[in-house]
Structure 1
């Protein structure tokens, strides 16, 4: 079995959380919560940490086996099969959503004359190739881009800070309303849903006892990077312009000028950011393929990767008519669906608790 170190897990989860959120979350979050958007990210992170801790508790029940293999003994074969089927469909849906978001972004900004299906197909093929290289290779590749992301974020802030409208900073602690903060916090929880996937990766991990600390640190680093960019965007554009931008962080990088030889930095940012999306999509493709393979009793899930990738590609084409529908779904129904899916693995906790109490009682009786 392939092994993933805690350092590799930290870097991968950091990039996976950072990539999708920076690209597609800030605009909608700002529209709803305004200057309190930064607080929503922090509250959502805290709630996600609690959910992650419970998911790790489930995985620790049999640390050398996957949840797909031992879950049936906890809650019964039929309930376990239902929960796993729903989660696997959710993985496919998330993969399709990422593919569609990437397709819409590239077709709108850079490849207006390229067929949409070609962009989605190339993206899916890259992810299929990454997954077939192995889960360990996938996690190792994250280390090459971690430092680049940190440098790009810090560079952007340093280069545009002279354009910040600093008087707006007071609004970060004065313009708070309970209802928008609540809605923004609930929607922010799903931005950290990659941590829950450790439930399906646990047997691959080395030094399993450090997993909680690693995930807390990874999500914390990602949160800091997101906050730096979010606050920079708000200080630069304000809440109204940020909310109307489809990709506000991209606009921030377009504000940067380095002499006459380099017009702006957005090509460098896009190149690295695209890689984080490929890593995230590849993880969900692996989860779906491995989960299906384990449920049907295959020793190797690699033969399923191409088929599952093709399903995700097909779903991405039919998930919505246009980019407006995609954003509307993710902003409303997508939030409820994602949070419900994150709670599904917790159905195993009562069974673990009951078995633990029963085992303790039997031990005392002896």
Structure 2
């Protein structure tokens, strides 16, 4: 797939920034507080640096041929059978991840706001909109992320100002030291794949305009997203305490319930959930669109748009049957998802390793 480049550095940074913390804040900070307690912020920082480094390594290799797609020329590096296998497994990972995120959303949204609506109907409606944006092209997805970036970024940058009174607390002394090195490593290991998902960007390198600045943009936007995650984690721990926060299902959303403006506007749940839903939608669209693109390239199909609707149906089906309840879904994530994700994300690293071993130049 050839491209003159239509995705600007700002658009790439906006999508990466939203991608890092959108679903993490809502669904993963609670389990992190429960497992790592005060050490969670350090887990996020170390995991963010390592995971971003892994993703940037693959993307930098793809940038060696900036006008060609790794999904096409990768077979010349590792051989056609191995390349096809890598692409199919990678496509499965991102489509499965789409189903996982969709299931998280329906488990939260349906009981809270649409109690009389079948879960299947909500999942189909969400994926229908995802398909519409995916069929508009990769560039449209990045432009959409840029449009959402201002609202989402501004909200999370201003949010800590509403909790200044909670910052004067002796808990800071506990946050400043490491309590459990084993727990620190275990939880850091689970966080690395959150950032490793950015490896998907190496399959859309031809769309980037500022290819020389891509690595810098990724590092800056990823660390800004990490800053948002750390601030959110600290606010939750300082405001609720680690024991109470560990028992809450959605502590970040519970925290926003205490935000109000003056004496006339106390309940901002609808506004906050709307802003969060924008971030969720951006991440879901990015993962599904690039997963569909990788799948089409694995089958040597030039145009991926006709595959979007069938694959969206597969994603909906997987999201419905992947677990019986939210507890079972969380158990899968806590027990085996990190190893599963790291193993499949690392497949892309085979290209630079084999190229180096064979002495293949750009």
TM-score range, shorter chain: over 0.9
Q: Distance in 2 between matches of 1:160 and 1:345?
A: 42
Would you say 1:177 and 2:184 are equivalent positions?
Answer: no
Contact residue 88 and residue 292 of structure 1 kept, 8 A: yes
Q: Distance in 2 between matches of 1:118 and 1:359?
A: 50
Give the corresponding residue for 2:139: 136
Contact residue 55 and residue 195 of structure 2 kept, 8 A: no
Moved more, 316-325 or 330-339: 330-339
- Post-superposition shift, 1:359? 6.1
- Post-superposition shift, 1:67? 1.8
Give the corresponding residue for 2:194: 191
Taking the TM superposition and a 5 Å limit, the aligned residue runs for 1:318-329 are: 318-329=321-332
Name segments (4+ residues, structure 1) moved above 6 Å. none
Task: Name the TM-score, length of structure 2 as normaliser.
Answer: 0.95
- Post-superposition shift, 1:160? 2.3
Q: CA RMSD in A?
A: 1.7
Moved more, 251-260 or 306-315: 251-260
Give the corresponding residue for 2:334: 331
1:53–1:257 Cα change, 3 Å: closer
SS at match of 2:306: helix
Contact residue 62 and residue 70 of structure 1 kept, 8 A: no
Give the corresponding residue for 1:57: 60
Give the corresponding residue for 2:12: 9
SS at match of 2:74: helix
Write the deviation string for residues 292-345 of structure 1: whole angstroms up to 9, x where unpaired: 222222221111111111111111001111111111111221111111122111
1:283–1:260 Cα change, 3 Å: same
Q: Distance in 2 between matches of 1:61 and 1:359?
A: 9
Give the corresponding residue for 1:364: none
Give the corresponding residue for 1:159: 162
Aligned residues: 359
Give the corresponding residue for 1:340: 343
Match of residue 245, structure 1, among 241, 244, 248: 248
Q: Distance in 2 between matches of 1:299 and 1:61?
A: 22
Write the deviation string for residues 260-304 of structure 1: whole angstroms up to 9, x where unpaired: 432222221210111111111111211122122222222211111
Q: Distance in 2 between matches of 1:331 and 1:359?
A: 41
Q: Distance in 1 between matches of 2:300 and 2:213?
A: 30
Moved more, 2-11 or 213-222: 2-11
- Post-superposition shift, 1:18? 1.4
Q: Distance in 2 between matches of 1:165 and 1:336?
A: 39
Moved more, 21-30 or 295-304: 295-304
Q: Distance in 2 between matches of 1:291 and 1:53?
A: 18
Would you say 1:218 and 2:250 are equivalent positions?
Answer: no
5+ long unaligned stretches in structure 1: 361-366
- Post-superposition shift, 1:113? 2.0
Contact residue 253 and residue 264 of structure 1 kept, 8 A: no
Write the deviation string for residues 42-62 of structure 1: whole angstroms up to 9, x where unpaired: 100111122123212331343
Contact residue 16 and residue 194 of structure 1 kept, 8 A: no
Would you say 1:89 and 2:101 are equivalent positions?
Answer: no
- Post-superposition shift, 1:355? 3.7
5+ long unaligned stretches in structure 2: none
Give the corresponding residue for 1:233: 236
Give the corresponding residue for 1:286: 289
Q: Distance in 2 between matches of 1:37 and 1:43?
A: 10
Would you say 1:304 and 2:280 are equivalent positions?
Answer: no
Give the corresponding residue for 1:30: 33
